[in-house]
Amino acid sequence: MEFATPSEAEDAFYNAFSRCDLDAMMAIWMDADYIECIHPGAARLHGAAAVRYSWQQIFKQGDQLQFHIVRHHCTQSGNLAIHSVSEQIQTGHAASAMRAEVVATNIYELTAEGWRMVLHHASPAQISRESPATMH
């Protein structure tokens, strides 16, 4: 699968995530030893084998997630693109739905086969009752 833009790769990433589709997920990642993934509250994973195994374990749980992604900042220079996003995640049905917000940095590299993910770093969002203008 070829992704013409970093945003296409990102959309495919969250689509694969929501469907728990391991093959589709790994088609987005660069197949390289230098890729990294950090899931919320977890250790840094380094290399394609470790990243694949982590997604396999997550998808085994079978949670169908719904994502609403807000792209806060996207920058591209040469063959790298960096996206800073908020992941608003919902799992379950309306009556028993659980919601979470995660902040993530996704980095993509342009290859001969299109854009591929090289880093996904996600952390729980910090909720503040103060507006950004009043924070120190």
pTM above 0.95, yes or no: no
Structural domain contains residue 42: yes
Secondary structure E strands in the chain? 36-38, 45-46, 65-77, 80-91, 98-111, 114-124
Structural domain contains residue 63: yes
Question: Can you give the CATH number for the domain in which 25 is found?
Answer: 3.10.450.50
Structural domain contains residue 135: no
Domain count, the chain: 1
Q: Report the distance separating Cα 53 and Cα 56, nearest Å.
A: 5
Other CB atoms within a 10 A radius of the CB of residue 92 amount to 13
Structural domain contains residue 121: yes
Residue span of the structural domain in which 121 resides:
6-105+115-126
Please report the pLDDT score of residue 65 as a whole number: 75
Q: Report the distance separating Cα 36 and Cα 131, nearest Å.
A: 33
Ranges of the chain with pLDDT below 70: 92-96, 127-136
Structural domain contains residue 12: yes
